[in-house]
Structure 1
Amino acid sequence: MSHLPSLPPETTLLDVFRAHPGPVGPLLELHERVMRAESPLTPGQRELIAAYVSGLNGCGYCHGVHTATAEAFGVPAELLPAALADLDSAPVEGRMRPLLHYVRVLTLTPSRVAEDDAEAVYAAGWDERALHDAIAVCALFNYMNRVVEGAGIRADDAYAQLSGRRLRDIGYAGLAALL
């Protein structure tokens, strides 16, 4: 149920954006740059990180939408639940495991990110740009999880699936155009 009394109880993030448009343009531009611009990480890998961070934070709305988006980009459906339950035994592609470990530490205990965490990412074959981009996705979704949870936004699986397909098809720039 929305915590914003001017909005209906079944409010979506798009409803919040429409009601409070001030920061929306720059915010969605940031999303487009972080999630879709050229990067060593594919859009699917960045959506996987977004969904993973959101799952760690217990943000059902963002976790659902970005899990659906990651799956729309080809991430296997069983990967995210397994990674959240036990990253070490999850069926995560080898190079992604150290990146997901890094964003896990950054999300849950940010002051404990260590040089060893970064070295594991580099040892897996990623470069500095990939680590930077993973950090940017992690930071963006830690922010968005707080916006969504603070506003009391919830969504069912049907909405998450619809949003996931929409984000795959039109990206965040297209989402801005819808508003």
Structure 2
Amino acid sequence: MPFLPSLPDPAHLMDLYARFPHNVRPLMDYTDGLLRSEGELSVGERELIATYVSALNACTFCAGAHRAYAEVFGIDGALIDALIADLETAPVSDKLRPVLAYAAKLNTLPSKLVERDAQAVYDAGWSEAALYEAVQVCALFNMMNRIIEGTGVNFDYAQAPDGHPASGSTPEDQSASYSRFGAMIEAMAKG
């Protein structure tokens, strides 16, 4: 049940943002810039990190939403399931594993990160820019997960898998999906 009485049950992020539209557009523009722009990490890898962090935080809404995007951008659903079950045994590439391990540690024990955690990312062939992308994705989804969980948004894409806007779409269709969402919320608020 949502914690804000003005939200329907089940509540979707759209319901929350339609009710409280202030600052949604800049947040969605930032999200688009982080998750959809060119980068060291692929769009699929960034969506995978968003999914993984959200799953670690037990945020059902974000884990489900970003799993759908990760799959659109080429990440296999079986890999996502294995990763969420156990990073150590998941069939993740040796190159991506230290990035995910870094994100997991940043997510749960940020003050315990040490130089060797970053060095493992560099030793796998990633640049500082790639590590910073992963850090930003982890940070963004810690914030988003807390917005979702703190307000009681409880829509579950597992209960309505075809209800996700990415269902049946292509990467091109999703190229600016967050900015479009922010613009839609802004238009709803004005109108």
- CA offset digits 1:32-90 (Å, max 9, x no partner): 11111221111111000000000000001100111111011110111122112221110
What code does the residue aligned with 1:30 have? Y
Q: TM-score, normalised by structure 2?
A: 0.88
What code does the residue aligned with 2:46 have? R
What code does the residue aligned with 1:175 have? F
2:14 is aligned to 14
1:64 is aligned to 64
Contact 2:102 2:117 in 1 (8 A): yes
Q: Please report how far the alpha carbon of residue 160 of structure 1 lies from its aligned counterpart in structure 2 after TM superposition.
A: 7.2
> Per the alignment, in what secondary structure is the counterpart of residue 78 of structure 1?
helix
Identical pairs, percent: 45
Contact 1:28 1:172 in 2 (8 A): yes
Change (3 A) 1:31 1:160: farther
Pair 1:152 & 2:136 matched: no
What code does the residue aligned with 1:66 have? H
Higher helix share: 1
Pair 1:172 & 2:178 matched: yes
Pair 1:55 & 2:61 matched: no
Q: Aligned partners of 1:5 and 1:150: how far apart in 2?
A: 13
Moved >4 Å (runs of 4+): none
Change (3 A) 1:108 1:77: same
Q: 2:164 aligns with which of 162, 165, 168?
A: 162
Q: Please report how far the alpha carbon of residue 163 of structure 1 lies from its aligned counterpart in structure 2 after TM superposition.
A: 3.6
2:188 is aligned to none
Q: Aligned partners of 2:65 and 2:162: how far apart in 1?
A: 4
Instruction: Map 1:108-147; keep pairs closer than 5 Å.
Output: 108-147=108-147
Superposition RMSD on alpha carbons, in Å? 1.6
Q: Please report how far the alpha carbon of residue 131 of structure 1 lies from its aligned counterpart in structure 2 after TM superposition.
A: 0.3
Paired residues in the alignment total 179
What code does the residue aligned with 2:132 have? H
Contact 2:9 2:154 in 1 (8 A): no
Contact 2:25 2:183 in 1 (8 A): no
What code does the residue aligned with 2:9 have? P
2:96 is aligned to 96
2:31 is aligned to 31
Q: TM-score, normalised by structure 1?
A: 0.94
